[in-house]
Amino acid sequence: MTRTEHLLSCLAEECAEVAQRASKAMRFGLDDIQPGQESTNAERVIYELTDLCAIIEMLGEEGLIDPSANPRPGIDRKKAKVEHYIEYAKERGTLTA
């Protein structure tokens, strides 16, 4: 495995950990503290997102991606798309709050 492959594997792993923590927060609430833990699910989501950002930064430092590229247009596009589907879900009756 090359360093690039290792970093990409870390990227995939961190994405999975963000997804897992978000799932726990949905199931048990953002303010829940899992037995044996000291942090809320909200705090743990942030920890996982921070870990993901670290890997993104490392990929940038290796010159594999350009983290300095302005993500604002893409972020705005994604937010609009999510809002569109939130409204659609409300219309379908699958989103209640």
What six digits make up the tokens of 22?
A: 């978000």
Domain that holds residue 94: 69-97
Do residues 27 and 46 both lie within one domain?
A: yes
Q: What is the pLDDT of residues 52-91, one digit of tens each?
A: 999 999 999 999 999 778 788 888 999 999 999 999 999 9
Do residues 79 and 57 both lie within one domain?
A: no
Do residues 44 and 82 both lie within one domain?
A: no
Its sign, for the CA torsion 65, 68, 69, 73, is positive
Do residues 9 and 35 both lie within one domain?
A: yes
Q: How many domains does the structure of the chain reveal?
A: 2
Do residues 56 and 82 both lie within one domain?
A: no
Do residues 18 and 36 both lie within one domain?
A: yes
Do residues 14 and 52 both lie within one domain?
A: yes
Do residues 74 and 87 both lie within one domain?
A: yes
Do residues 60 and 73 both lie within one domain?
A: no
Instruction: Report the candidate in 56, 80, 79 with the shortest Cα–Cα distance to residue 69.
Output: 56
What six digits make up the tokens of 72?
A: 């604002």
Do residues 76 and 52 both lie within one domain?
A: no
pTM of the model: 0.86
Neighbours of 76 (CB within 10 A): 10
pLDDT at 15: 98
Do residues 14 and 42 both lie within one domain?
A: yes
Neighbours of 28 (CB within 10 A): 12
Q: What is the pLDDT of residues 7-31, one digit of tens each?
A: 999 999 999 999 999 999 999 999 9
